[in-house]
Amino acid sequence: MKSFYLETFGCQMNVHDSEKVIGTLLERGYRQTEDAGEASLVLYNTCSIRDKAEQKVFNKLQQHKRHGKEQVIGVLGCVAQQEGEKIFERAPYVSLVVGSASYTKLPELLVQIEQGNRRVTGLSLDTDETFDTPLTRRDNPYRAFLTIIEGCDKNCAYCVVPFTRGPERSRAAQGVLDEVKQLAAAGYTEIMLLGQNVNSYLDPSPRGWNFARLLREVGQVEGIRRVRFTTSHPRDFTKEIIDAIDDVPALCNHVHLPVQSGSSKVLEAMQRQYTREQYLERIGWMKNARRKISITTDIIVGFPGETEADFQETVRLLDEVEYDGLFSFKYSQRPNTPALRFDDHVPEEEKGRRLLQLLEHQRTILVRNNAGYVGETEQVHTEHFNAATGQWVGKTTQHKTVNFTHPQGPEAAIEGRYLDVLVTRSGVASLAGEAIVM
């Protein structure tokens, strides 16, 4: 019997694409295996966002040299799109290279592979399609990922995504709503809407809903208790989105709004299309909302031309916004991107120093923010029991992790349930508490 092994790198979009690819393969009679050595088809769904991510993929591929058995090796995702047929030269034992914009063609490409074709590619970015499939095999039974927009039209100077995922394509709102209703009927209560820039969502049907409208509609589907979305681009982030969160209870109190830098000069060089002041205006909308919205962000340190003074503006921004979470990265040079041509590169060592300083600074903010929840009762969507700590683990609407005890301990069988938890302690990365059981 045909079997496949699939390993996924990168962002939630990739994780969800893999769920769709798995469904497509199962439909074609493949069986999934956790053992790469045993599989007849080995797939890597890859990420190219930073150089390290790309290196990881080639290291993986290198391991297959030793196998030498009858096995088809395929590269999917962002490295596939970026490197294309060059992958065949760097890793001659690879026979399938497919970018995410060609996944609708996967069934045909698989037929070519099954017929023994040893160099099969799907690399066209020339598409207005999105990869929608009823075959998706979701990994989590309570929280479902759902793509609403693919690709990106933003062209930030450092970023490969416009090259690896192609132009923006929105999925029809009716299709999205139908899928959300099916998910609710199947017992899902939490939906995560996905896109590289969900804020520029535009329903291609004559109805022409924007993102805020779609969000309201998804949030009102019966049975759906939580709706999250990622990622937001500040330029396209509207006050309407915050109004929707204020009005519709199922929309979560959390916005991930990547800023990348606190310096308007660096933002301009990055081609982010907003200033520090415009970004802070959006933060102001959230701070003035009726609901307590948690805010998280992404920051790149050491972009070409970033001076110590620019960097200190980013540090001060952390204090101003008081973020609830921070993902920070050292700038990494990427193929095809405009920033490759910039000079004035920041030395690696200096990038490392800035990254550490940023994280250290954020730590203090997190300790303070999290302490504010002690004594509060939070509704927690339970995920799993952690045997090592003897506690259950779940998330609040603000996307805070809560570790909590339950009188029935591991026997409580509360996976996927929403419980009220009294927060009794807080730390840097999480809260701790006790389930309130009536």
Q: Which does 155 bind (CB under 5 to 8 A by kind): ligand SAH, ligand SF4, ligand F3S, none?
A: ligand SF4
CB-wise, 159 or 293, nearer to ligand F3S? 159
Q: Which does 78 bind (CB under 5 to 8 A by kind): ligand F3S, ligand SF4, ligand SAH, none?
A: ligand F3S
For 239, half-sphere exposure in the C-beta direction (CA atoms, 13 angstrom radius) is: 8
CB of 330 to ligand F3S, least distance (A): 15
Q: Which does 162 bind (CB under 5 to 8 A by kind): ligand SAH, ligand F3S, ligand SF4, none?
A: ligand SF4
- The span of 30-38, 41-49, 55-63, 180-188 binding ligand F3S (CB under 6 A) equals 41-49
Closest CA to 315 of 331, 299, 293, 303: 299
Residue 230 to residue 16: CA distance in whole angstroms: 13
Q: Which does 334 bind (CB under 5 to 8 A by kind): ligand SF4, ligand F3S, ligand SAH, none?
A: ligand SAH
CB-wise, 49 or 244, nearer to ligand F3S? 49
The answer to whether 161 contacts ligand F3S (rule: CB under 6 A) is yes
User: Using the rule CB under 6 A, which residue among 4, 5, 6, 13 binds ligand F3S?
Assistant: 13
- What are φ and ψ of residue 194, in 5° steps? -120, 145
- The span of 159-167, 239-247, 364-372, 396-404 binding ligand SF4 (CB under 6 A) equals 159-167
Q: How many residues bind ligand F3S (CB under 6 A)?
A: 13
Tell me the CA distances in angstroms from 286 to 243, 245, 256, 282, 307, one per residue in order: 9, 10, 11, 7, 30
Q: Which residues contact 199 (CB under 8 A, 6 or more apart)?
A: 211, 232, 233, 235, 236, 237, 238, 241
> Please, where are the H alpha helices in 68-158?
77-83, 86-90, 106-114
User: Using the rule CB under 6 A, which residue among 161, 191, 252, 365 binds ligand SF4?
Assistant: 161
CB of 169 to ligand F3S, least distance (A): 14
The answer to whether 159 contacts ligand SF4 (rule: CB under 6 A) is yes
Residue 181 to residue 204: CA distance in whole angstroms: 20
Residue 140 to residue 24: CA distance in whole angstroms: 18
The β-bridge relationship of strands 391-395 and 418-426 is: unpaired
- The span of 47-55, 223-231, 343-351, 425-433 binding ligand F3S (CB under 6 A) equals 47-55
Say which residue the tokens 């952390």 belong to: 318
Q: Which does 164 bind (CB under 5 to 8 A by kind): ligand SAH, ligand SF4, ligand F3S, none?
A: ligand F3S
The answer to whether 332 contacts ligand SAH (rule: CB under 6 A) is yes
Amino acid letter, residue 310: D
Tell me the CA distances in angstroms from 103 to 15, 18, 147, 172, 313, one per residue in order: 14, 10, 14, 18, 42
User: Using the rule CB under 6 A, which residue among 62, 155, 307, 389 binds ligand SF4?
Assistant: 155
CB of 296 to ligand SAH, least distance (A): 11
Helices 211-219 and 239-247, packing angle to 10 deg: 10
User: Using the rule CB under 6 A, which residue among 5, 10, 154, 432 binds ligand F3S?
Assistant: 10
Closest CA to 13 of 146, 180, 177, 154: 146
Q: Which helix (H) or strand (E) holds 318?
A: helix 308-321
Query: Which 333-372 residues touch ligand SAH, going by CB under 6 A?
Result: 334
The answer to whether 162 contacts ligand SF4 (rule: CB under 6 A) is yes
Q: Which does 397 bind (CB under 5 to 8 A by kind): ligand SF4, ligand F3S, ligand SAH, none?
A: none
The answer to whether 233 contacts ligand SAH (rule: CB under 6 A) is yes
Amino acid letter, residue 151: G
Read off the DSSP letter of residue 262. Answer: S
The answer to whether 160 contacts ligand F3S (rule: CB under 6 A) is yes
Say which residue the tokens 């996944």 belong to: 103
Cβ neighbours around 47 below 10 Å, total: 22
CB of 389 to ligand SAH, least distance (A): 30
- Label residues 126-143 b or e (16+ Cβ within 10 Å = b): ebeebbbbeebbbeeebb
CB of 23 to ligand SAH, least distance (A): 25
Query: Which 5-64 residues touch ligand SAH, going by CB under 6 A?
Result: 49-50
The answer to whether 304 contacts ligand SF4 (rule: CB under 6 A) is no
The answer to whether 259 contacts ligand F3S (rule: CB under 6 A) is no
The answer to whether 196 contacts ligand SF4 (rule: CB under 6 A) is yes
How many degrees, rounded to 5, is the angle at CA 313 between CA 310 and CA 319? 160
Residues that bind ligand F3S (CB under 6 A): 10-11, 13-14, 47-49, 77-78, 160-161, 164-165
